Structure 1
Amino acid sequence: MPTVFKNKDREFQDDPKMVSPFLIQTAIPRLSMSAGARNLLFDMRLLKPGQYSFPYHSHRNAEEMMMVVSGSMTARTPEGLEVLETGDIIFFEFGDSGAHQFFNHTSKPCTYLDVRTFLGLDVSDYPDTGKVNIIPQFELYDSKTRIRYFDGEEKVSEKWEGLRKKK
């Protein structure tokens, strides 16, 4: 059954996790959650003047598309800056080449539709800071701290021996 979201029923609220200058607002009700979508995440976002959307990031397992519904904003991509106006659509493939961030360079709010695929697990990379985010758990790690696959496994035989003694 189709789900219709009327503009008159939409309110934008601050996300309590966000901090300045990343004070993006999300429409309530959350669209994809309200629709029961399983493989798409989509929301209406409001970007206030002088604010950024999210830290510059890419997705390893999600494609993303934005459509400016009203106002204007600047997109930052690996190719540079691109001004987006009402009606413009921008698509980001997964991987480093799809890195993006938005900034409202105007004196008026910018509203946009944010749509991305969701296949149960995604990883976002943040090239400016080296962070890695496991989504949807929202677990953040520093990509500069790398370990090898078998680090910490040196005493595996002792673990097994302890289990044998329990029998």
Structure 2
Amino acid sequence: MLKPFVNLADVAFTDIEENGYYTSRRAQFSAGIGARKLGYNLTELPPGKAQCPFHAHRAEEEMFLILEGEGELRYGADRYRIRKHDVIACPTGGHATAHQIINTGSTTMRYLALSNVSDIEVCEYPDSDKIGVHADEPSAPGLHEMFRSEATVEYYDRESNVPPGSDA
């Protein structure tokens, strides 16, 4: 039986991102303590880095609790100074709720992230005009695709106006 808690000093960092500006370590421990509808992770963000690009979710609402360090929250068109013990709400939506945490301090920032878990998610990336589509199915490969916003097409693009199997 799973123990329904973990001490943050004991979590394992299994998601390591080293991609220039986007450099971080995340310990994803939700399943390990029995969570089913919420996702939890502990993120460590080095000075001058961001964990991910500026983005907005359509299905998953996020909350962040800054445990150590200081930085900047990009939120919609605004920027806010953030520091230890700040609690940040990032509700679902479009460009107005897009968000990004940046470590502008001189020490590693640590924060706890919490979100609901959705089987289907659409993320928008305003800085790069991309859209991410994610759909997971139990025991099957999911759909994880990124698209450029300018590559949109009309609803009937590449659709035939002739019924299947007709000679018309």
State the TM-score bracket (shorter-chain normalisation): 0.7 to 0.9
Instruction: Measure, in 2, the Cα distance between the counterparts of 1:67 and 1:59.
Output: 18
- Greater share of residues in helix: 1
Q: 1:12-91 counterparts in 2 under 5 A?
A: 12-13=13-14, 15-16=16-17, 18-27=18-27, 30-91=28-89
Q: 1:150 aligns with which of 143, 153, 156?
A: 156
- TM-score between both structures, scaled by the size of structure 1: 0.85
Larger Rg: 1
- TM-score between both structures, scaled by the size of structure 2: 0.85
- Structure 1, unmatched stretches of 5+, are 163-167
**3-state DSSP of counterpart to 1:12:** coil
Deviation above 2 Å: which 4+ runs of structure 1?
Answer: 10-16, 35-38, 135-138, 159-162
**Could you tell me which residue of structure 2 aligns to residue 5 of structure 1?**
6
- Structure 2, unmatched stretches of 5+, are 136-142
Preserved contact between residue 64 and residue 116 of structure 1 (Cα < 8 Å) = yes
- Greater share of residues in strand: 2
Instruction: Measure, in 2, the Cα distance between the counterparts of 1:149 and 1:39.
Output: 33
**3-state DSSP of counterpart to 2:127:** coil
Instruction: Measure, in 1, the Cα distance between the counterparts of 2:67 and 2:134.
Output: 26
CA gap of 1:117–1:156, structure 2 versus 1, over 3 A, is farther
Instruction: Measure, in 1, the Cα distance between the counterparts of 2:14 and 2:117.
Output: 23
Amino acid at match of 2:109: C
What's the Cα RMSD here? Answer: 2.0
**Could you tell me which residue of structure 2 aligns to residue 92 of structure 1?**
90
Instruction: Measure, in 2, the Cα distance between the counterparts of 1:8 and 1:115.
Output: 17
Amino acid at match of 1:48: P
